Amino acid sequence: MEYPSIGTSDLKLSAITFGAWAAGGWMWGGNEEKDAIQAIRAAYDHGVTSIDTAPAYGQGASERIVGKAIRELPRDKVQILTKYGLRWDTTKGVFHFKSKDNQGQDINMHKYAGREGIIKEVEDSLRLLGTDYIDLYQIHWPDTSTPIAETMDTVSDLIRQGKVRHAGVCNYDATQMEEAAKHINLVSDQVPYSMIKRGIEKELVPYCIENRKSILAYSPMERGVLSGKIHPGHVFAAGDHRAGLFYFKDENLTRIQRFLDSIQPIADEKGVSLSQLVLRWTLAQPGITVLLCGARNATQAISNAKAIELSLSESEVSSITEHLNELRLNPDA
């Protein structure tokens, strides 16, 4: 495993970090707690020491499961990343979207990162995670109803209190990051990035490289579509949010599969899975520091961790990119 430094801080994360959204079940058609715990522990045994979660993932379920999974692990060898500012239990802030919790009850998600909200959330997270500090605390989504200064000043207070070690953001653009950095030592931005979703390359990546901020890429497998295991006609479990997404429409699944078939020979030559090849290419892109990889079970977690063992030459990365550039998928079309 590789352990890059995050931003200019002394925080080091595993290059493959365990993404625990699906562990909470919410929007993924449910979960098996036992499998999620085994996946986290298997990942740790293979060098994945960092775990990313959030209160919203199962409305506390993911954080609780992560807490159980790491209970017997040495705390100083595990890096906990969690978030704040995506609420289902208040109408403050900005309405984000309608959803259902794991019990099928309607909930409304709001983006809210006011001072008193953050103070409540950090205490809830510490309790559920069973720890007295969070290694990287990140705003989940920009909250336009709260000044960035108020949000970041509050997190600065939490750092001084020892409850938080480092501050990051999620889903911020370069302008928002620049404003946040005036109020706190911001080390990272967690954003969606994959072979077929590369919009951040235009502005955010250059900003982060120039200002020495790390990019934590979430959904590098584009919610599983780049594994090559989801084909036209696939039926998702009830509550699985992927069913209506652009990339999972039959015509796009067909086009994506055509691309994956074109790079399959490289995976075969290397003796790795297609998923491992996809992950390694993604990590090789400029400005990308860490990949957040979800896993439903220990087998998937181990496969993700072993992607780091793959070595790709510059020419191999370029060859994959050439095939990719022929795909031309536009989710905004």
Q: Which residues are annotated as catalytic?
A: 57
Cβ neighbors of 272 (< 8 A, separation 6 or more) are: 280, 306, 307, 310
What contacts 117, CB < 8 A, 6 or more positions away? 84, 85, 87, 90, 92, 93
